[in-house]
Structure 1
Amino acid sequence: MRKLLFFVIIFGFSSSIQAQKYSKEVLDSMYSITQQTKLELTKPKSIKLMAVGDIMMGTNFPNDSYLPPEGKGPFDNVNVILTQADILFGNLEGTLTDEGENAKRCSDPSKCYSFRSPESYGKYLEETGFDVMSIANNHIGDFGAIGIKNTSKTLEKHNIAYAGIFAQPSTIFEKNGITYGFCAFAPNKDCIKIHNLTNAKKIVEELKQKADIVIVSFHGGAEGLKHTHVTRKTERFYGEDRGNVYKFAHTMIDAGADVIIGHGPHVSRAFEVYKNKFIAYSLGNFCTYSRFNLDGIKGYAPIAEIEIDLDGNFMKGKLHSAKQIDEVYPFIDEKKRALKEIKKLTQEDFPESKLIFDEDGSFTQQKE
């Protein structure tokens, strides 16, 4: 009788443990499902991505006279727009470093265009809400390896994703329940090459397996007033192969990219929608304090706002026109000159995209 009672007690105790274990597993499973449901419910139905061109907020090389006066933030006059973005992108045209000697050979430093912004300027990028930046361009190596290292360190300190150099060809970051893959390319020696389409495709394909949305940036194409059009051919400038940006952009979308953002020519270029994916071929200069030629169309500073669905397909957009003049940070251009320029170039270079621009800068794709 005692043995039977002991067996009943042990069996009951064991059953109780099993029941508790089973109950815990059920609760854990229910919690996991609840959290997943919450995540799905809080995910946005679409993404508002904003992109701007070259950013160089001031340089202390060759001397401090090329730094702006204290008290004025670089993006103060355009933050009303930029802070509305779900994802904000820019091209960092230079370095963020307090160390490093000029890596370029220049007999006259005043004519040597090397850009060294103080590391403290990283706070301006974070305050405005930049999420991701390209550092693949011809100025990332201006102050050698230490300049590249400190730029990377500064962006990391301010929680800004970046890519485009040998140490970081690509990156993945998450925001609002969506995972983004980002990579950047340029024709320059310190960067992941825009010419190597096989390698670029591989990077994009790998990102596509891990991320919901893949953003690709390129620094390419010839520079200046005579090079506003996308030629659909290899472009050269001062004897340098600046890539075939049309072929590059289309190849990256074929490989799985969702958004392509170009810069490098220092002038605005056309927009295109290819296979329902958005391409900006150049967003020109945006926030370039001193040392940059901002005459005429070089002073246009477009802000491209696009809305994409969760599959990365283009839904609609809006082009906000800003402007720069020498040693004045970007400000809203009431004459909307960037809009007029990009509208004209888009109609001339990519009529097949059927992008329709309204007077307020909104643009959509005309349906068949």
Structure 2
Amino acid sequence: MKTRLILFLSAFIVITGCRNLPEKKAIAENPVTETAKPVIKPISDTINIAAVGDIMLGSSYPDSTFLPPDSARNSFKYALEDLRKADLTFGNLEGVLLDTGAPVGYKLRFKNKGYLFRMPTNYGGIFKDAGFDVLSVGNNHSNDFDRPGRKSTIKILDSLGINTAGFKSHPSKKFTLNGVRYGFCAFSPNGQTVSLLEIAAAKNLIQQLKANSDIVIVSFHGGGEGTEYEHVPADTEIFKGENRGNLRAFTHAAVDAGADVIFGHGPHVSRAMELYKNRLIAYSLGNFVTYKGVSVSGVCGLAPLLKLRINKKGEFLDGRLISYIQNHQTGLRPDALNRTAFRIKTLTEADFIQPGLSISDSGAITPLVTN
């Protein structure tokens, strides 16, 4: 009798103990891609992060010809495992979530109206289903449709539980995920966003976040755009007469202020990476999924997915660049030739005498041991 009682109690403890195990993220109702399974997270002293650059799933402006034929349902099909399995997944939302509305007046000067990015609000569920926890709105297209666009975007992302920051009205976000307290902030040199150019103010914001966070993640949209801007200069970048920031100065100041991981985007091409004070800086993660409106020819079609491990102090442990490639006909696909990883490796070696890290041809990232 005693033996039966012990067996019963053991089984009860095992069954009930599993009920409250932490899981990665809630999956959106009526998922738009294949059924996603909740990931049961082990207790660990390390944090696994996945990050990508610009995401723009097509635009309903000026008409539906700029929307993908499958309503963007399969946008992340081949990357779902990499995106969903991370403890935290980041991307830059290049555009707004809005169903109707006119562009902000000064943007009507664009001859090609396909450069104004207005994604249908139901596309928000695609990001949720793909596993995104954090989306930056600090970029030059987040104000394409003025206040209604900004307001709708925040409303949709909040309703889905996707953390966002970058607008002047929403400069930062604090949240807890699987017991880790995160602080997130995003910067760009564009109107209605938190300024990339005001470094002292940026440092102050980061310091405030760090005071109440275990890990601070910083996003920035900066630098020139296109194939002529793959390299990270040592001074301020001017693009078409506009100050796009001194990115080395900004990122180093951000780390000095308490940033643990920094993700850059904006040039529409990949750029070098650097380890500064044992904190990882990705100067540009390029394009990831950008349907029409954004060129994906040549190196612009190289689509990196960065996976990294940090400890709970924010120190970089190791990482990997997963190479994808995209075009407007077939969308995002894995690249067995690892061209993206090799390109970032080459740029890193060219731009930094002492990058603090090593990238293999296959994309493995390891810190360099210095004496």
Shift of 1:142: 0.5
Instruction: Determine the C-alpha separation between the residues in 2 that align with 1:269 and 1:310.
Output: 27
The match for 2:70 is 70
The match for 1:94 is 95
User: What does the per-residue CA deviation read over 1:144-179, in whole Å, with 9 as the maximum and x for residues that have no partner?
Assistant: 100000000011111100001011100001111001
Shift of 1:121: 0.2
Letter in 1 for 2:322: H
User: What does the per-residue CA deviation read over 1:182-221, in whole Å, with 9 as the maximum and x for residues that have no partner?
Assistant: 0000000110000111110110000001100000000001
Q: Is the Cα–Cα contact under 8 Å of residues 99 and 146 in structure 1 kept in the other structure? A: no
- Superposed, which structure 2 residues align to 1:339-350 within 5 Å? 339-350=341-352
The match for 2:224 is 222
Shift of 1:70: 2.4
**2:366 counterpart SS class:** strand
The match for 2:320 is 318
Q: 2:331 aligns with which of 313, 329, 332?
A: 329
User: What does the per-residue CA deviation read over 1:212-234, in whole Å, with 9 as the maximum and x for residues that have no partner?
Assistant: 00000000011111111110200
Letter in 2 for 1:59: S
Gaps of at least 5 residues in structure 1 are: 1-37
Q: Is the Cα–Cα contact under 8 Å of residues 43 and 177 in structure 1 kept in the other structure? A: no
Structure index of larger Rg: 1
Letter in 2 for 1:158: L
- Superposed, which structure 2 residues align to 1:1-368 within 5 Å? 43-70=43-70, 72-103=73-104, 104-106=106-108, 110-111=112-113, 113-368=115-370
Shift of 1:351: 3.1
TM-score, normalised on structure 2? 0.86
Q: Is the Cα–Cα contact under 8 Å of residues 220 and 264 in structure 2 kept in the other structure? A: yes
Q: Is the Cα–Cα contact under 8 Å of residues 304 and 324 in structure 2 kept in the other structure? A: yes
Cα 1:62–1:327 shift into 2, 3 Å: farther
Q: Is the Cα–Cα contact under 8 Å of residues 43 and 178 in structure 1 kept in the other structure? A: no
Letter in 2 for 1:96: L
Shift of 1:136: 0.6
Shift of 1:107: 5.8
**2:69 counterpart SS class:** coil
Q: Is the Cα–Cα contact under 8 Å of residues 124 and 157 in structure 2 kept in the other structure? A: yes
Instruction: Determine the C-alpha separation between the residues in 2 that align with 1:272 and 1:107.
Output: 37
Q: Is the Cα–Cα contact under 8 Å of residues 343 and 357 in structure 1 kept in the other structure? A: yes
Q: Is the Cα–Cα contact under 8 Å of residues 345 and 360 in structure 2 kept in the other structure? A: no
Q: Is the Cα–Cα contact under 8 Å of residues 106 and 112 in structure 1 kept in the other structure? A: no
**1:126 counterpart SS class:** helix
Letter in 2 for 1:200: A
Cα 1:142–1:105 shift into 2, 3 Å: closer
Q: Is the Cα–Cα contact under 8 Å of residues 262 and 280 in structure 1 kept in the other structure? A: yes
Q: Is the Cα–Cα contact under 8 Å of residues 261 and 282 in structure 1 kept in the other structure? A: yes
Instruction: Determine the C-alpha separation between the residues in 2 that align with 1:139 and 1:227.
Output: 19
Letter in 1 for 2:75: P
Q: Is the Cα–Cα contact under 8 Å of residues 220 and 245 in structure 1 kept in the other structure? A: yes
Letter in 2 for 1:358: S
**1:335 counterpart SS class:** coil
Shift of 1:357: 2.2
Instruction: Determine the C-alpha separation between the residues in 2 that align with 1:51 and 1:214.
Output: 14
Shift of 1:109: 5.7
Deviation larger for 214-223 or 64-73: 64-73
- The CA RMSD over aligned residues, in Å, is 1.7
Instruction: Determine the C-alpha separation between the residues in 2 that align with 1:105 and 1:190.
Output: 14
Letter in 1 for 2:310: I
**1:317 counterpart SS class:** strand
**1:151 counterpart SS class:** helix
Instruction: Determine the C-alpha separation between the residues in 2 that align with 1:215 and 1:148.
Output: 22
**Which structure shows the bigger proportion of residues in helix conformation?**
1
The match for 2:28 is none
Instruction: Determine the C-alpha separation between the residues in 1 that align with 2:195 and 2:109.
Output: 29
Gaps of at least 5 residues in structure 2 are: 1-20, 23-40
Q: Is the Cα–Cα contact under 8 Å of residues 342 and 362 in structure 2 kept in the other structure? A: no
Cα 1:209–1:51 shift into 2, 3 Å: same
User: What does the per-residue CA deviation read over 1:98-141, in whole Å, with 9 as the maximum and x for residues that have no partner?
Assistant: 13211144367644510000000000110011001110111011
Letter in 2 for 1:272: E
Letter in 2 for 1:221: G
TM-score, normalised on structure 1? 0.86
